[in-house]
Amino acid sequence: MIQKKTLTPIILAVIFFIMFSLSFAAVPLYNLFCRVTGFGGTTQISKNIPKIILDKKISVRFDTNVNKLPWNFKIKENVIDVKIGQVSKAEFEVENYGNKTTYGVASFNVSPSSFGKYFSKLGCFCFEKQKLEAGEKATYILTFYLDPDLMSDLSTKNIEDVTLSYTFFSSDYY
């Protein structure tokens, strides 16, 4: 039989290693949780378009920002009215006004955050490293739809406008 003096350190060591292992799993598990639930405004990635288009329109506002990059980043239309279930596109224009090649990565969030799980992207430039030569201009496209299921959610069915905010960060910081 193992004595209490020996058993206690063994139990504490096992607990330590379990907690240590869980700390590495926390980020991927949290990311999975956010994607599934839309927590924190996390939008969804979709490969299929909805089978139904509703007459209700929601105004989608876009906000563009740049952090530590010599880039000009803007949207062609700041606000677009989108029918729920209809596939829509938004065009972003980016220009490197610096004198050297730079790399950036765009991140985004949706407000109100409860709407994130109903904002489905079919195609997006976000979270992909983008390269712009000095003086180069580029156009990036976001293809998305608003999931008709939002009408059955009490927290989102009366929303009339949402804001999608994009920020380009230098890839050195990403």
Tell if the pTM clears 0.85, that is, is over it.
Answer: no
* Number of Cβ within a 10 Å radius of residue 138: 15
Residue with tokens 């509703």: 54
CA 40 to chain centre: 9
- pLDDT over 70, % of the chain: 80
CA 160, CA 151: separation in Å to the nearest integer? 11
Of residues 18 and 119, which shows the higher confidence score? Answer: 119
- The overall longest dimension of the chain from CA atoms, in Å, is 75
Question: Phi and psi of 16, rounded to 5°?
Answer: -60, -50
**Tell me, what amino acid is at 154?**
L
Categorize the per-residue pLDDT at 41 as very low, low, confident or very high, splitting at 50, 70 and 90: very low
Domain 40-173 has CATH 2.60.370.10: yes
Does residue 90 carry a pLDDT above 60?
yes
Does residue 70 carry a pLDDT above 90?
yes
CA 57, CA 132: separation in Å to the nearest integer? 35
CA 154, CA 114: separation in Å to the nearest integer? 10
Does residue 55 carry a pLDDT above 70?
yes
CA 77, CA 62: separation in Å to the nearest integer? 8
